[in-house]
């Protein structure tokens, strides 16, 4: 019976305490969303924090590294810089290094990327007929990272049951924790 002691705690709560715990949980979730939106505004990036999902950028970044991005339009893109970009028709952004830069007469910049651990450039990953990336494709540029912190995200995507178990555990903790 020791495994389900938390159910006794929930049963002992009166309606006001249970409502308070649910409200507390809602405040935690809404606070996290507000922080995320605030980071989007400060960094000018639709995704200010991303997780490296593959080994294509090793040894610079490893699978599971957490990257912090900015995407200020006034900063020019440079060769050697690590960018995160989205390809039309692909949902998941890609983290690779700028290999070549091509500036047109009208000032528009196009660039080519490549993963440090890949033998060829990324033209095979781009949309059909696309040979270069443009500024509009960039989600952000890597400004810092924390090694392996994002591995939990990878585990939750690779093993959906693990994700639901973690979310269930966190939800129960918030509901039961009375302080």
Q: Is 96 an active-site residue?
A: yes
Q: Which is it for the CA torsion 165, 171, 175, 179, positive or negative?
A: positive
Please state the φ and ψ torsions of residue 33, each to the nearest 5 degrees.
-65, -40
Q: Is 44 an active-site residue?
A: no
Determine which one of 56, 102, 121, 137 is catalytic: 56
- What span, in angstroms and rounded, lies between the C-alpha atoms of 45 and 107? 22
Q: Is 56 an active-site residue?
A: yes
CB 70 within 8 A of CB 44: yes
- What span, in angstroms and rounded, lies between the C-alpha atoms of 15 and 20? 8
CB 134 within 8 A of CB 87: no
Determine which one of 44, 106, 116, 122 is catalytic: 122
Determine which one of 96, 102, 106, 137 is catalytic: 96
Q: Which residues are known to be catalytic?
A: 56, 96, 122
């Amino acid at each position: 019976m020791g495994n389900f002691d938390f159910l006794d705690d929930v049963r002992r709560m009166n309606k006001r305490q249970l409502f308070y715990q649910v409200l507390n949980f809602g405040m935690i979730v809404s606070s996290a969303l507000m922080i995320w939106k605030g980071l989007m505004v400060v960094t000018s990036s639709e995704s200010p924090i991303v997780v490296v999902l593959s080994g294509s950028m090793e040894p610079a970044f490893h699978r599971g590294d957490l990257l912090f991005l900015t995407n200020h339009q006034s900063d020019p893109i440079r060769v050697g810089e690590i960018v995160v970009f989205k390809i039309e028709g692909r949902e998941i952004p890609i983290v690779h290094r700028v290999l070549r830069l091509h500036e047109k007469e009208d000032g528009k910049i196009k660039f080519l990327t490549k993963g440090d651990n890949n033998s060829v450039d990324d033209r095979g990953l781009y949309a059909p007929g696309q040979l270069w990336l443009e500024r509009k494709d960039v989600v952000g540029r890597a400004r810092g990272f924390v090694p392996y912190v994002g591995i939990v995200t990878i585990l939750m995507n690779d093993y959906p049951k693990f994700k639901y178990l973690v979310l269930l555990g966190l939800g129960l903790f918030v509901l039961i924790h009375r302080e």
